[in-house]
């Protein structure tokens, strides 16, 4: 779209103190936003705007709008506003829909079936692996995997999806910023092979109040939300609550009773979320809504959730160590009592297994076994 047609939408997005709800009401009177900006104060008041909101429309930051237009002029960037036919139909039906979406990447992905994967920032090693494996399988079967670019589960889900398909990252900042900063490289890769989206214009920082609002878009874009790990008080549970309010499916992966990051998932399951152990558990609920249920398999792809188990190359002592571990962390002294081998030999075996990705050391110094998908 040309700058002339985008400018009124950018002004509405940036007008301070005017939320999307007020703008949507304004558009009922003025289908063309340019007409709303040219209307008299009396006409705007009759359309439902307060005096403060009318003043805000007249005090738009023109320099910021010009920066928006310059950003949008580059390849792979778009503003998809409410009247744009590309605006996702799933978002039109949620409470408090956004006025517009800034997009960096492939905007066509927003029309594809999506499933959200969310969870703890401080996830366990097993949680990270679960998020990656589920995302890779779901993407291979035709879903766009949607998440929030956060550390932990979100990042793992994006990476897993990029292994086999596409991913969308919903951001809580303007798209000229990346939060968290350590996901700069991941954000660049998503922009090249997926899409970054935000309802916030350029320059908006990572304010705490932005992220719960971002979560309503993650669930709103998706057919269902999979929670991989979450504490009892977690932003991921906000996404699950939005999903329920929006009529979406909610799925949760159970974990060890000793893992505090599993308690949020267990609470969701007690409240009616579907317990998930494999990707097929998700497809039982929403697979029929896709054009093909097992597109990747029909095309000769591998169903990793049911692939034949590979022969375990571990030595006898490695198998003994693996048998003594689970997803619940075990400290070194307890493990030494269970395995009963020389300490130096046990330490060497643990190091080899950790390098091989079969076990992981937790932040507290315990060891846990990783389940390979």
Residues 267 and 354 in one domain: no
Residues 139 and 260 in one domain: yes
Positive or negative: CA dihedral 198, 152, 187, 86 = negative
Contact call for residues 353 and 359 (beta carbons, < 8 A): yes
pLDDT at site 304: 33
Q: pLDDT tens for residues 68-122?
A: 999 999 999 999 999 999 999 999 989 889 999 999 999 999 999 999 999 999 9
Contact call for residues 138 and 223 (beta carbons, < 8 A): no
Specify if 74 maps to a domain: no
Cα–Cα distance measured from residue 194 to residue 145, given in angstroms and rounded to the nearest whole number: 10
Q: pLDDT tens for residues 187-204?
A: 999 999 999 999 999 999
Tell me the average pLDDT of the chain.
86
Specify if 223 maps to a domain: yes
Cα–Cα distance measured from residue 41 to residue 47, given in angstroms and rounded to the nearest whole number: 10
Q: Which of 280, 306, 332 corresponds to the end of one domain? A: 306
Q: pLDDT tens for residues 229-274?
A: 998 877 788 899 999 999 999 999 999 888 888 999 999 999 999 9
Residues ≥6 apart with Cβ < 8 Å to 111: 86, 88
CA distances from 141 to 26, 136, 308 (A): 42, 9, 18
Specify if 92 maps to a domain: no
Residues 150 and 266 in one domain: yes
Contact call for residues 307 and 285 (beta carbons, < 8 A): no
Residues ≥6 apart with Cβ < 8 Å to 344: none
- Smallest CA-to-CA distance from 236 within 225, 223, 247 is with 225
Specify if 69 maps to a domain: no
3-class DSSP state of 111: helix
Cα–Cα distance measured from residue 344 to residue 350, given in angstroms and rounded to the nearest whole number: 10
**What would the mean pLDDT of 272-300 be, rounded to a whole number?**
70
Q: What share of the chain has pLDDT > 90, as a percent?
A: 56
pTM of the predicted model, to two decimals?
0.78
Domain total for the chain? 3
Residues 123 and 227 in one domain: yes
pLDDT at site 233: 77
**Is residue 311 pLDDT above 50, yes or no?**
no
Residues 227 and 252 in one domain: yes
Contact call for residues 256 and 210 (beta carbons, < 8 A): no
Specify if 81 maps to a domain: no
**What would the mean pLDDT of 147-151 be, rounded to a whole number?**
97
* Rg (alpha carbons) of the chain, rounded to whole number: 24
Residues 45 and 129 in one domain: no
Residues 211 and 322 in one domain: no
The H or E element containing residue 81 is: strand 77-81
Q: pLDDT tens for residues 113-146?
A: 999 999 999 999 999 999 999 999 999 999 999 9
Alpha helices by DSSP H, 247-371: 263-270, 279-286, 295-298, 316-324, 332-339, 343-355
Number of other CB atoms surrounding residue 153 within 10 Å = 31
76-90, 225-239, 298-312, 353-367: which has the highest mean pLDDT?
Answer: 76-90
Q: Residue 355's pLDDT band (boundaries 50, 70, 90)? A: low
Cα–Cα distance measured from residue 316 to residue 86, given in angstroms and rounded to the nearest whole number: 58
Longest dimension (CA), the chain: 86
Number of other CB atoms surrounding residue 36 within 10 Å = 21
**Is residue 339 pLDDT above 80, yes or no?**
yes
Specify if 327 maps to a domain: yes
- Smallest CA-to-CA distance from 369 within 332, 303, 324 is with 324
Instruction: For the chain, give the number of residues.
Output: 373
Which residue range is the domain that position 354 belongs to?
316-369
**Token couple for 83:** 């009247």
Residues 281 and 174 in one domain: yes
Number of helical H runs and strand E runs in the chain? 18, 11
Query: What backbone torsions phi and psi does residue 306 show, to the nearest 5 degrees?
Result: -130, 20
Residues 173 and 203 in one domain: yes
């Amino acid at each position: 779209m040309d700058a002339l047609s985008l400018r009124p939408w950018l002004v509405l997005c940036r007008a301070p103190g005017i939320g999307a709800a007020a703008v949507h009401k304004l558009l009922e009177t003025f289908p063309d936003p340019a007409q709303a900006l040219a209307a008299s104060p009396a006409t705007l008041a009759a359309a439902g705007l307060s005096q403060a909101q009318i003043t805000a429309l007249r005090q738009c930051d023109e320099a910021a709008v010009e920066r928006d237009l310059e950003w949008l002029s580059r390849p792979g960037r778009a503003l998809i506003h409410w009247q744009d036919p590309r605006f996702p139909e799933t978002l039109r039906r949620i409470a408090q829909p956004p006025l517009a979406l800034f997009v960096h990447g492939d905007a066509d992905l927003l029309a594809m079936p999506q499933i959200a994967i969310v969870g703890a920032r401080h996830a366990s090693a097993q949680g990270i692996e679960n998020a990656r494996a589920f995302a890779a399988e779901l993407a291979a079967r035709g879903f766009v995997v949607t998440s929030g670019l956060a550390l932990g589960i979100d990042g793992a889900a994006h990476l897993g999806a990029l292994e086999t398909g596409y991913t969308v990252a919903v951001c809580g900042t303007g798209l000229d910023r990346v939060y968290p900063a350590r996901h700069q490289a991941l954000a660049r890769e998503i922009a090249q092979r997926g899409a970054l989206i935000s309802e916030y214009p350029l320059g908006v920082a990572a304010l705490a109040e932005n992220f719960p609002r971002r979560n309503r878009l993650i669930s709103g874009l998706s057919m269902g939300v999979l929670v991989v790990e979450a504490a009892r008080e977690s932003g991921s549970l906000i996404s699950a609550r939005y999903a329920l309010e929006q009529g979406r499916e909610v799925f949760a992966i159970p974990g060890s009773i000793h893992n505090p990051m599993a308690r949020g998932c267990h609470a969701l399951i007690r409240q009616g979320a579907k317990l998930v152990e494999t990707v097929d558990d998700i497809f039982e609920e929403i697979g029929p809504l896709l054009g093909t249920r097992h597109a990747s398999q029909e095309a000769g792809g591998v169903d990793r959730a049911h692939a034949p188990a590979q022969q375990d190359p571990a030595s006898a002592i490695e198998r003994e160590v693996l048998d003594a571990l689970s997803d619940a962390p075990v400290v070194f002294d307890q493990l030494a009592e269970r395995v009963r081998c020389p300490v130096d030999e046990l330490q060497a075996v643990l190091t080899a297994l950790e390098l091989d990705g079969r076990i992981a050391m937790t932040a507290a110094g315990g060891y846990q076994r990783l389940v390979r998908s």
